[in-house]
Amino acid sequence: MRALVTGGAGFVGSNLVRFLCNKKWNITALDDFSSSGRTEIDSRAVLVRGSIGNQKLLEKLLKGVDVVFHLAATGIIKISLENPEWYFQNNFMNVLKILEAMRKRGVKKIVYSSTAAVYGEPKRVPIMEDDVKEPVNPYGAAKFGFESALSAYYHSFGIESVSLRYFNVYGPGDEQRPATRAVPNWIKAALRNQPLTMYWGGKQIKDYIFVEDVARANYLAATKGRGCEFYSIGSGIGRKMTDVAKILEKVMGKKLKIKQMGNRAGDPNVLIADITKIKKELGWKPQVSFEDGLKKTIEYYKLQLE
């Protein structure tokens, strides 16, 4: 199989590229290096520097491709609140160029990295795929808008799509710039004997899923997904952030200091995935426990900080 992975040098993207290379796929990755600064990926893949807004480049890279994995995006909610117009341009309008390039090249399948942010503040938990979508920030709104575009391109042009709504992904390789995600920030702070910065008094409830499980979900979406489908990708387990800190203490074997940062705009209070649908239809379920995932992530950052 031949695939194009946009955002292939990013956190999830680089892990997905390695996973697909292990499956003997022929991979081209496209990235502008703005998210993580990573300029090297698995040597078995071809890495091209460029923008998803460059339709001519997209059409060139899509020649002979069987499936597109679209992961390229600006994923920092704070930026979406500060500059929403630019955010929609980058995360929605530019992404439409991928669909147009696919249409012109006759590529008939795309796996889209969406987000639990499309649900906004859920009316019930765990969240099912057909629950109400009311994004509370431009990040979720742009992602939800592109899901609608995928539906239109499926019904109008026969381009199949699978949208994977990620909950809180964590694991090795997360080099987000600027870093906003709790788990990598907390691990790096703990390794440096610095306090963990916590928002909302640690009362938020989040659903954490290990990046290797996410990569496998992408693979199954490409090989088994049909039509125009949407799946939530989480563990199905909600954890208060205070409990996440306690588990991290246990895994690291030391007491951690907490620095309370007050509230932060754009954060839903509770996000927990119902993963019944993807279990039934694609045969996917998480394989890495939270503690084991934390151990692997800690080892990665230990090496990074040496």
* Residues carrying an active site annotation: 139
Contacts of 243 (CB under 8 A, 6+ apart): none
196 phi/psi in degrees, rounded to 5:
-85, 130
Q: Are 273 and 236 in contact (CB under 8 A)?
A: yes
The two structure tokens encoding residue 1? 């199989």
**Beta-carbon neighbour count of residue 97 at 10 Å?**
18
Selection from 252, 130, 121 nearest residue 183 by Cα: 252
CA 45, CA 233: separation in Å to the nearest integer? 25
The two structure tokens encoding residue 40? 């090297």
CA 154, CA 82: separation in Å to the nearest integer? 33
- Exposed / middle / buried, residue 204 (Cβ in 10 Å: 0-12, 13-18, 19+): buried
